[in-house]
Structure 1
Amino acid sequence: MNIRRSAAALAAATVVLGAAVPAVAATPSPTPSVAIPDGLYGTTDPTYDGVWRQSLALLAQRTTGVTPADRAVAWLAGQQCASGAFAAFRADTAKACDAKLMVDTNSTAAAVQALAALGGHQAATEKAVSWLKSVQNADGGWGYTPGGASDANSTSVVSGAMAAAGQQPSEVKKAGKSPYDALLKLSIPCDQAGDGAFAYQPDKKGTLAANADATAAGVLGVLGKGFVTTAGKVREEVFTCAGSAAPLTPDELARNGSVYLADAIGEDGHLDSALPGAEDQPDYGNTADAVVALAAQGATEQAKKPLAWLEQNSAAWAKQSGPAAYAQLIFAAHAMGADPRHFGGADLVAQLDATGPTPQATAKATDQAADADADKKDDSDSGYGVWWIVGVFLVAGIGIGFLISVRGRKRQP
């Protein structure tokens, strides 16, 4: 996942290409400067991405039918401030949030998507949604922090949160403007360089530069979808940029962005991340986000190649990057109807589960397996012990739905 980053975050991005961290947040340090809290997924410093990675991890587990550990859910819920907002990480939740604590829209929106999917947190999600509405910009979008200029990534992740909470993003307006209006201003017309793409933000001169991370986010944003989605209806129209006739519909904007992503992926099957002073290198997180965006828009044929590339090449990246990376891959597989438990020979669900507290479903299955072994010793003629355990795992493996990215956030050409 993607760009949403400050200068400090861009510098830190040299640590892990494509690592999934929120906008304007530095890539987590391999050596934690704070103790890893009980219940938190991952072993790296959570200062800049604790809520983000926890939200994606829990959402990915819920999507694959896994019941997360109670303490993992409690950790996320306990990070919320009285205002309804979330910061990237609160080391001491006994201390009330104050003006010195930087709350942000990305962490808050990610938490909403996770808590809404888990269920049982209506009061928390309603309070968070109210806070997000209170910091919506007059152009209809959101910046990373309250009052910050709207950007495509933040606007899109908040739109996904609204949809997850049962809101209609197109009806969430400030000064008569909706998230669609903000994203429309960040879309590049078909007759200009980067045709069809979304920019993260305009530069100081107001120029829009195509950005693959922002484009993957923008496609989901205009469609009103979150991190987790299923494939949209395959389109019959020619897969080309929809033109510059105004006003473009949300569907046309999404199609334009998908055309750009498919072209950027090209024959290599992946997006690239060009860091200052470095050669272009594969960007795994952005590629995963692009798969989700393409699938959501109905461009499943164009999403097959990058999905296959991820299956063959993402294992080392995910292992190094941690919970949010595994979640991104799970979202990509889910969007395309693929099995995340058999992803290029890997079980993404088990690998994600292993980065944090043992989920309830896994714990129960382990207990049942032990019981079955004891029964087998007592009665060697019992013929259903092993197959009963297999059935438990099959039930636990049923996928359920609600992705984008946030995204490993690298600037694309």
Structure 2
Amino acid sequence: MTVLRRTAGALAATAVIGAAMPATTALAAGTTSPSPSASSVLPSGLYGGSDPKFDGVWRQSLALLAQRAVGVTPAAKAVDWLAGQQCANGAFAAFRAEPAAACDAKVTVDTNSTAAAVQALKAVGGRDAAATKAVSWLKSVQNKDGGWGYTPGSPSDTNSTGVVVGALAAAGASADRSPYDLLAKWSLPCGQDGGGALAYQPDKQGKLAANADATAAGVLGALGKGFVTTAGKARAEGPACAGSGTARTREEVARNGAAYLADAMSKSGHLVSALAGAEPQPDYGNTADAVVALAAQGWTGQAKKPYAWLEAHAAPWAEQSGPAAYAELILAAHAMGADPRDFGGTNLVTALNATGPAPRAAAAVAKHAEEKKSGNSVWWIVGTGLVAGIGIGFLFSGRRKQQQL
């Protein structure tokens, strides 16, 4: 699920709690996250400079995950900020301006923020208790159909189900009811338009429509993988949707979904965002997610073209969109076995780090340099004092000699 899709989900949930979120609610690719109200002073441990009302926990979680994926140790206060957002029942909201206050009915917790936080807390280490509590909450709000909705009690959707499956996998946990049957149910048959893709969720008439964002999330969910993944074992079969009916197994869901994504990006090298009344435009976030899904499926060959397209075009989008966008690109590079520090001439890791508190290693180096500088100044002063003291000593010694004479 892209940063833009995630923000749209938060907007939808804020407007109508429990309402189904249609695929067309995604914000236009290339736009920044909305800032509905001017924040006061942003927390020093938070990544990104935009209003965190709708995506604070989400972007923080992705930033920490991306840093750990490339061997960077996040700043302690960045991890503390994320952990401090957790409610007593284990859930997370998109953002809590007053984390010390208890979570009451006015705090809208959601599965996406919670699942992302679980993956991040497990990745940074030392936060198992918080992650375990969050997993317990996620399991407690699983729907009877085996999936999860954005908010507790809302209808299941593929995106939320996929991110929760990733959280459970990261924590080494399992759901009480299998979510894979639901994903298979929402996989479009190969013989029809959009065959192999997954729907976000059925419409009011029960019809399914192909959704690339949901498909990328569904592929990772069917594979039992989270946001951070490496390339799967190379597949002998080509990227083609197989089967005349709806996919029956999680393996078929992943294969057919990945085949749909590969075909959708085969010509242009990227996915598009088509909002009502607007011209279709490149969708950078969904393309990055699709690269991760293809790599996880073992089809890195089919992911090379979209990854190259991202290298050539996505850096300005990430600079405009913030830490979650940088994180998505880093995770795509990681899945492909590429170097995110040389992403079409951009060092994504340095760019991400610059959006928040300096990672521990970088902070330690800066502190050491400052201490060294201060230390040299101190010793210069001490040295100067010693020289001056020696001079004064000679002066007093001369005076004593003159008095003796």
Coarse TM-score class (shorter-chain normalised): 0.7 to 0.9
Give the 3-state SS of the residue equivalent to 1:272 in structure 2.
strand
Alignment CA distance shift 1:84-1:232 (3 Å): same
CA displacement at 1:238 relative to structure 2: 2.9
Paired position in structure 2 for 1:85? 91
Whether contact under 8 Å (2:166, 2:224) holds in the other structure is yes
Q: Match of 1:76?
A: 82
CA distances 1:297-344 after superposition (whole Å, capped 9, x unpaired): 001001000100000101110000000000000000000000011110
Deviates more, 1:323-332 or 1:251-260: 251-260
**Distance between the aligned counterparts of 2:247 and 2:306, measured in 1?**
31
The structure 1 segments of at least 4 consecutive aligned residues displaced by more than 6 Å after TM superposition are 370-376
Residues 365-411 of structure 1: per-residue CA shift (max 9 Å, x gap):
334567899999xxxxxxxxxxxxxxxxxxxxxxxxxxxxxxxxxxx
| 1:129 corresponds to which of 127, 135, 153 | 135
State whether structure 2 residue 44 is matched by structure 1 residue 41: no
Q: Is the 8 A contact 1:32 1:43 kept in 2?
A: no
Could you tell me which residue of structure 2 aligns to residue 152 of structure 1? 158
Structure 2 portions without partners, runs of 5+: 13-23, 377-405
1:45 is matched by which residue type in structure 2? Answer: D
The answer on whether the counterparts of 2:187 and 2:246 sit within 8 Å (CA) in structure 1 is no
Asked if 1:209 corresponds to 2:209, the answer is yes
Q: Deviations over 1:232-256 (max 9, x none)?
A: 0111113211213566221221110
Decide which of 111, 118, 121 is 1:112's aligned counterpart. 118
Residue of structure 2 in register with 1:411 after alignment: none
Equivalent residues in 2 for 1:44-63, closer than 5 Å? 44-63=50-69
Query: Does the aligned pair in 2 maintain the 1:28–1:46 contact within 8 Å?
Result: no
| 1:236 maps onto 2:236 in alignment | yes
Corresponding residue of 2:183? 183
**2-side partners of 1:318 and 1:246: how far apart?**
36
Structure 2 letter corresponding to 1:95: A
- With 198-207 and 35-44 compared, the bigger mean Cα shift is at 35-44
* CA contact 1:60–1:331 (8 Å) conserved in 2: yes
Q: Which has the higher helix share?
A: 2
Distance in 2 between the 1:251 and 1:12 partners?
A: 28
> How far apart are residue 363 of structure 1 and its match?
1.5
Larger Rg: 2
* Matched-pair contact (CA < 8 Å) for 1:108–1:128: yes
Query: Structure 1 stretch 214-223 or stretch 58-67: which is displaced more?
Result: 58-67
Task: Check conservation: 2:188, 2:246, Cα contact below 8 A.
Answer: no
CA distance in 2, matches of 1:44, 1:107: 17
Partner residue in 1 for 2:30: 17
Give 2:295's aligned residue: 295
Match of 2:176 in 1: 173
- Opposite residue 294 of structure 1, the aligned amino acid is L
Q: Is the 2:230–2:337 Cα contact (8 Å) retained in structure 1?
A: yes
SS across alignment from 1:341: helix
Sequence identity percentage? 68
User: What is the RMSD of the two structures over their aligned residues, measured on CA atoms?
Assistant: 2.3
Matches within 5 A, 1:309-388: 309-367=309-367
Task: Kindly provide the CA deviation profile for residues 12-33 of structure 1, in whole angstroms up to 9, marking residues without a partner as x.
Answer: 824x5376xxxxxxx3328733
SS in 2 for 1:125: helix
Give the unaligned 5+ runs of structure 1.
20-26, 377-413
Greater relative contact order (Cα 8 A, min sep 6): structure 1 or 2? 1
* TM-score, structure 1 as length reference: 0.83
Residue 221 of structure 1 corresponds to which residue in structure 2? 221
Name the CA shift for 1:369/1:251 in 2 (closer, same or farther; >3 Å).
farther
Cα distance change of structure 1 residues 31 and 8 upon mapping to structure 2, 3 Å threshold: closer
CA contact (8 A) 2:62 2:327 kept: yes
Aligned to 1:23: none
Q: Supply the distance in 1 between the matched residues of 2:283 and 2:88 (Cα, whole angstroms).
A: 37
Query: In structure 1, what is the equivalent of residue 397 of structure 2?
Result: none
Structure 2-normalised TM-score? 0.85
